[in-house]
Amino acid sequence: MPTSLSRRTFLGTSAAGLAATGLPAFAFQEKPEIKWHDVQEWGVEGRAFNDTEKYFDRLPGRAKGVVRDAVWGLSRHSSGMMVQFRTDATEIHAHYKVTFRNLAMAHMPATGVSGLDLYARDDDGTWKWVAVVRPNAQEMNVSLVNGLRPGLRDYAVYLPLYNGTEFLKIGVPTDHKFEPIAPRKEKPIVFYGTSITHGACASRPGMPHPAILGRRLDRPTINLGFSGNGKLEKEVGQFLVEIDPAVYVLDCLPNMVAKEVTARTVPIVKQLRAAHPDVPIVLVEDRTYSYSWIKPSSQKRNDTSRAAFKAEYQKLLDAGVGNLSYVDGDLLLNQDRDDTTDGSHPSDLGFYNHAQVLEPVLKKAIAS
């Protein structure tokens, strides 16, 4: 009697034995072969410029040395980018690498900072969440999801919010269909803002309000949020004017004091208006600090920056600058102030509330 069995004989014998006992023989089947698709081959939404140093940068290489170094560094994050495809696969894989080793922050999980977020369209065409990557290394090769209900449907993957992306490949078993969906040609909603626009502190890349609004309005979005560095600067404005948007959303007050607001609001609106005479511009006040009711200094910061912003908005109206909208910051978060992570940055609930307030404003602006 032989003392050893070949692998084929062992597997066959074991499978037969499992079948005889009623246990699933499929436990011994080999994994399906995966075919990989590099997303750069068909394009990623959320890229406003083609002449970037790295594919997933948010500003062109020309911006280096023009914008402040802090803005340039943050522009290397892939926040707001999203890729679409169609498949009938019952499992979807992802292979990607992020730029920086720090995968999470003290107040924001790795799923949001460095993860991938998968959505699918249901039978009615509505985007619904499916799965998220929980990264534990810079380079991840993972099954995004398996056991999916059979059927051909559209999917979208949102890229990391607070990390750069070096590459991203989507994989499905070779015996299933895979169709790339090219970036849409509709004019995008362009958001210029702070860490909140950037995505802090969403639990997943699909949860910041620009992404939520992109799904609700079924329109591409450009996320130019620069954490701690959204300051209505003309140096950023010179790149904003190169984009042909459906609407601009200026949401920089959380990073600005009243003096800066007074100095910069009118110039950047005029800069945008000179390049795009008819494009709607939405001016958004800063959200209310959750603890401002008990911290007078925070209340003063909100009050003074808003007063300056409203004054500059009125100057623009008086000067005949049209197609402007203004959003009251006190509406952006719940009145119980229980929808932030740290009193300043929204939780997922806070981003949902931001989207609730901004959606009708943007619908009206785009329709104008």
Flag whether pLDDT at 122 surpasses 50: yes
Length of the chain: 368
Is pLDDT of 64 > 50?
yes
E-strand ranges in the chain read 34-38, 82-87, 92-98, 117-121, 127-132, 139-145, 153-158, 165-173, 178-181, 189-193, 221-225, 247-251, 281-284, 324-327
Query: Per DSSP, what are the bridge partners of residue 172?
Result: 35
Burial call 84-115: b when 16+ CB within 10 Å, e when fewer: bbebebbbbbbbbbbbeeebbeeebbbbbbbb
- Tell me if 134 sits within 8 A of 115, measured CB to CB: yes
Q: Please tell me which residue, 17 or 333, carries the higher pLDDT value.
A: 333
- CA atoms lying within 13 Å on the CB side of residue 307: 8
Q: What is the mean pLDDT of the chain?
A: 93
Q: Within 13 Å, how many C-alpha atoms sit on residue 122's CB side? A: 7
Q: Taking residues 350-363, what's their average pLDDT?
A: 98
Q: What is the pTM of this model?
A: 0.91
pLDDT number for residue 30: 62
| One-letter amino acid for residue 305 of the chain | S
Q: What is the pLDDT of residue 6?
A: 40
Report residue 135 as tokens: 């990264």
Contact 177, 152 (CB under 8 A): yes
pLDDT tens per residue, range 15-36: 444 344 444 444 445 678 999 9
Span 227-255, mean pLDDT? 98
Task: Give the C-alpha separation, 239 to 86, whole Å.
Answer: 33
Answer yes or no: is pLDDT of 146 > 90. Answer: yes
Look up residue 82 and give its two tokens. 């999203």
Of 164, 163, 130, residue with least CA distance to 144: 130
Domain spans of the chain? 34-46+81-181, 189-367
CATH 3.40.190.10, applies to 189-367: no
DSSP class of residue 346 equals B
- Which tokens hold the place of 241? 């004017």
Q: In angstroms, how far is CA 223 from the centroid of its own chain?
A: 7
- Strands laid side by side in the 247-251 sheet: 221-225, 189-193, 247-251, 281-284, 324-327
Query: Could you read off the pLDDT of 78-112 as tens digits, one per residue?
Result: 999 999 999 999 999 999 999 999 999 999 999 99
The mean pLDDT value for 232-257 works out to: 98
The residue-averaged pLDDT of 234-239 equals 98
**∠ at Cα 33 (30, 38), nearest 5°?**
150
- Which residues are CB-neighbours of 222 under 8 A, at least 6 positions away? 46, 48, 58, 80, 188, 189, 190, 191, 243, 245
Beta strand pairing call for 221-225 and 189-193 = parallel
pLDDT band with cut points at 50, 70 and 90 for residue 10: very low
Percent of residues, the chain, with pLDDT higher than 90? 90
> Which residues have CB under 8 Å from 294's CB, separation 6+?
none
Q: Which residue has the higher pLDDT, 39 or 337?
A: 39
Tell me: the pLDDT tens digits for 262-300?
Answer: 999 999 999 999 999 999 999 999 999 999 999 999 999
Q: DSSP labels for 202-263?
A: -SSTT-SHHHHHHHHHT--EEEEE-TT-----HHHHHHHTTS--SEEEEE-GGG--HHHHHH
- Given a contact cutoff of 8 angstroms between Cβ atoms, the answer to whether 115 and 165 are in contact is no
Instruction: Return the CATH class of domain 34-46+81-181.
Output: mainly beta
Q: How far apart are CA 216 and CA 359, in angstroms?
A: 8
As given in the structure block, the two tokens for residue 193 are 């803002």
